[in-house]
């Protein structure tokens, strides 16, 4: 009698066949063999995709809207487009009570005059470094085509800075902890006034802020400089409370302020200590007068700050609005290299 066979077809449903005499219980000899069908030589396995680039949260400064990151006043692509081209997701909000954000009636709104904008940003004067400014595209004064286009983009803003910081902390917390961002976190790129929001956000939810890039953030700590010496930013980096260790209740009585940071026991911004920070300062900006004070304060408080002076990177003649000046793309490349170099 010919032995029964069982064929296991690896790529088809399998069935175990009994020997022909199974019902009779007869001891019929049998054996098994295997047949594989449907196989082919494997294609090369592609390498795993690189990890996604960090989403960028672009925060504009005072009297601005998110449009200032879209294009420059002389019609070139802005930083939002550069980040998108590099592969980042870009989140570009308008501040509360500004731009596309609704403004309730009864708000206290103020605005910058064209003369102030020219004097402070586009044709600067009033501090020693201002004479080095060469990068604004045009004369930088009212009547110049590029200046007039930029001036039309400026908007009124909330006059109570402390109140605005409280509002922005609330809405940014909702943003970075919501579904739009998820667990990926964001790299915050913040200009001037928005630096206040960046410190407050990272202090409130450090796990969702992967890094901070602060473009000449509001400063210096505790008081104004250049055009005033009035008290400001009573919590050092912000006007609203930050978490210090040891705990601080009243900054006016618990901080000892020196013009140059001294050694010894200090209050630490522990929630910011693990957040990488890049602070960028332009050669001809009024921030060149005092950004070293902001850097010294943050480092003394335990914050890991890398200070990028554009002068030392070969980018000469920039003012406070360097992200929209003639060499804006070259400056952006320096920032992008730092972001992509993060571990």
pLDDT tens digits in sequence order for the chain, 343 residues long: 444 444 434 444 444 444 445 455 556 677 766 666 765 777 787 776 666 788 999 999 999 999 999 999 999 999 999 999 999 999 999 999 998 898 887 788 999 999 999 999 999 999 999 999 999 999 999 999 999 999 999 999 999 999 999 999 999 999 999 988 888 899 999 999 999 999 999 999 989 999 999 999 999 999 999 888 999 999 999 999 999 999 999 999 998 876 554 455 579 999 999 999 999 999 999 999 999 999 999 999 999 999 999 999 999 999 999 999 999 999 999 999 999 999 7
d(CA 7, CA 16): 8
d(CA 163, CA 179): 26
d(CA 113, CA 67): 19
CA proximity to 279, closest of 341, 219, 205, 210: 219
CB-based contacts of 200: which residues, under 8 Å, 6+ apart? 165, 168, 169, 238, 240, 242
Compute φ and ψ for 228, nearest 5 degrees. -165, 160
d(CA 242, CA 201): 10
What is the structure's pLDDT at 71?
Answer: 96
Helical pair 161-176 and 194-204, crossing angle rounded to 10 deg: 50
What is the structure's pLDDT at 329?
Answer: 98
CA proximity to 171, closest of 275, 98, 222, 242: 98
* Residue range(s) of every CATH 3.40.50.1820 domain in the chain: 56-340
d(CA 56, CA 59): 9
What is the structure's pLDDT at 51?
Answer: 67
Burial of 167 (0-12, 13-18, 19+ CB in 10 A): middle
What is the structure's pLDDT at 257?
Answer: 76
Find where tokens 């609005």 sit.
321
- Give the Å distances, CA to CA, from 44 to 11, 41, 49: 21, 9, 15
d(CA 83, CA 87): 7
* Local structure of 277: helix, strand or coil: strand
CA proximity to 96, closest of 156, 55, 141: 156
* This prediction's pTM: 0.84
d(CA 188, CA 214): 8
Compute φ and ψ for 332, nearest 5 degrees. -60, -40
Give me the architecture of the 56-340 domain, per CATH: 3-Layer(aba) Sandwich (3.40)
What is the structure's pLDDT at 224?
Answer: 92
């Amino acid at each position: 009698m010919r032995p029964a066979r069982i064929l296991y077809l690896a790529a088809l449903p399998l069935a175990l066949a009994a020997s022909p005499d199974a019902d009779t219980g007869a001891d019929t000899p049998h054996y098994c063999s295997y047949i594989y069908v449907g196989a082919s030589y494997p294609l090369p396995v592609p390498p795993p995709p690189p990890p996604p680039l960090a989403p960028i949260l672009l925060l504009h400064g005072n009297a601005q809207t998110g449009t200032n990151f879209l294009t420059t006043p002389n019609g070139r692509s802005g930083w939002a487009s550069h980040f998108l081209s590099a592969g980042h997701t870009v989140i570009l909000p308008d501040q509360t009570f500004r731009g596309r954000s609704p403004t309730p009636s009864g708000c206290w709104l103020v605005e910058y005059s064209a003369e102030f904008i020219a004097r402070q940003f586009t044709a600067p004067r009033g501090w020693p470094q201002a004479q080095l400014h060469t990068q604004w595209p045009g004369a930088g004064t009212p009547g110049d085509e590029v200046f007039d286009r930029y001036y039309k983009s400026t908007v009124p803003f909330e006059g109570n800075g402390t109140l605005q910081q409280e509002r922005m902390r609330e809405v940014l917390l909702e943003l970075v902890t919501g579904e739009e961002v998820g667990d990926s976190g964001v790299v915050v790129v913040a200009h001037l006034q928005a630096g206040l929001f960046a410190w407050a956000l990272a202090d409130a939810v450090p796990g969702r802020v992967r890094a901070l890039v602060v473009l000449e953030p509001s400063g210096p700590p505790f008081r104004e400089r250049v055009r005033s010496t009035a008290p400001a930013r009573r919590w050092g980096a912000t006007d609203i409370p930050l978490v210090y260790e040891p705990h601080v209740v009243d900054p006016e009585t618990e901080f000892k302020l020196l013009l140059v940071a001294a050694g010894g026991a200090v209050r630490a911004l522990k929630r910011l200590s693990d957040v990488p920070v890049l602070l960028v300062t332009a050669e001809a900006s009024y921030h060149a007068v005092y950004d070293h004070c902001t850097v010294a304060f943050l480092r003394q408080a335990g914050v890991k700050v890398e200070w990028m002076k554009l002068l030392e990177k070969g980018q000469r003649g920039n003012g406070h609005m360097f992200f929209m000046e003639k060499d804006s793309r070259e400056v952006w490349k320096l920032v992008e290299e730092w972001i992509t170099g993060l571990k």
